[in-house]
Amino acid sequence: MRLDKFLNATNITKRRAIAQDMCKSGAISINGVQSKGAKEVRVNDLITLHFLESHVTYRVLKIPTLKTIPKAQKHEYIEKVQQ
């Protein structure tokens, strides 16, 4: 699954357009490498979102098969590693 779709499907970002903008500006990296929205996400990847004064890292546990998942099931797909 594409990185921008994954961020939207797992409710990390509200909209896919936000995820695409973050990727274009270099604010998202996978396993320490800046990534574009088209980058494929795999299980056990570490996705880091860089904000102005902090960063948040998530580990991919499972790839969603649906366009969006319920927020209550978010913990099945990602886990927050550090903030």
Identify the structural domains of the chain with CATH numbers, from first to last: 3-81 (3.10.290.10)
More confident: 70 or 30? 30
| pLDDT tens per residue across span 10-61 | 999 999 999 999 999 999 999 999 999 999 999 999 999 998 899 999 999 9
The C-alpha atoms of residue 12 and residue 41 are separated, in whole angstroms, by 14
Q: What was the pLDDT predicted at 83? A: 65
**The dihedral formed by the CA atoms of 47, 37, 40 and 62, expressed in degrees to the nearest 10:** 50
SS3 content of the chain, % helix, strand, coil (to 5): 30, 30, 45
pLDDT at 6 over 90: yes
pTM above 0.85, yes or no: yes
